[in-house]
Structure 1
């Protein structure tokens, strides 16, 4: 499936070819911290199937407990996370952040990983009160 996307401010635009059935949620603590959320939604694509059209990412290098170095590409203007990838592996896989993809409505995660780190309330999201727009949450 051909997709396109951008960062929040529009400095970075990209296109990619992805396999929608490979979209997943990651509950690892790194994804929680780096996204500022409970999990991250990821769509993998391979080198050669991902093209930056405008702008350039700034990379943050995260060294995992295994010693592996992961590059996290983000917009230097607005800070939007665009992808992560390994520093060395070939062929390189770019894990695109689904929130930056214009076709995100069509990208339903099919699996979840690092569930041992999942926050317990994430399993009951459908049972929580829902609003079409943000309610007034002031105290």
Structure 2
């Protein structure tokens, strides 16, 4: 069971599945969203997500690849909780910082490495893409 919450604890969620992939995204939007060098996204089937406390709010933004992304966040503290494609795909990505148990990044896929901040080191042998994988 994957569990997570916002920083203030007002919104909590759980997911009964297992991640299909873990991404470390170096795009500018993820840098802004995480207030850090990159964002961490844990891809899961969207049908396994259940909000167990509170209610997130949503806003939608354009992505660097030209798609639209629906972003769930806590209305009290603003913590980003998950992202889901506006296209209605059957997956979503839980935001790594919201997880109760931090993800193992040893096999993470690095995307948008063309926008990686200077000094960030990607582990040797890590799968990586200069933009979003197709």
CA distance in 2, matches of 1:81, 1:109: 23
CA distance in 2, matches of 1:66, 1:56: 29
Q: Which residue of 2 aligns with 1:108?
A: 105
Does the CA-based 8 Å contact 1:25-1:109 persist in structure 2? Answer: no
Does the CA-based 8 Å contact 1:24-1:109 persist in structure 2? Answer: no
Q: Alpha carbon RMSD of aligned pairs, Å?
A: 2.0
Q: CA deviation at 1:88?
A: 2.3
Q: Which moved more, 1:74-83 or 1:10-19?
A: 10-19
**Structure having the larger proportion of residues in helix:** 1
Structure 1 residue ranges (4+ consecutive) displaced by more than 6 angstroms after TM superposition: none
TM-score (norm 2): 0.81
Q: Which residue of 2 aligns with 1:75?
A: 74
CA distance in 1, matches of 2:76, 2:95: 17
Q: Which residue of 1 aligns with 2:129?
A: none
Does the CA-based 8 Å contact 1:41-1:109 persist in structure 2? Answer: no
TM-score (norm 1): 0.78
Structure 1 residues 108 and 80, CA gap change in structure 2 (3 angstroms): same
Question: Radius of gyration: which is bigger?
Answer: 1
Query: Number of residue pairs matched?
Result: 121
For structure 2, the residue ranges without an aligned partner over 5 or more in a row are: 123-134
Kindly provide the CA deviation profile for residues 53-105 of structure 1, in whole angstroms up to 9, marking residues without a partner as x: 111111121023554221111000001000111112232x211111111111x
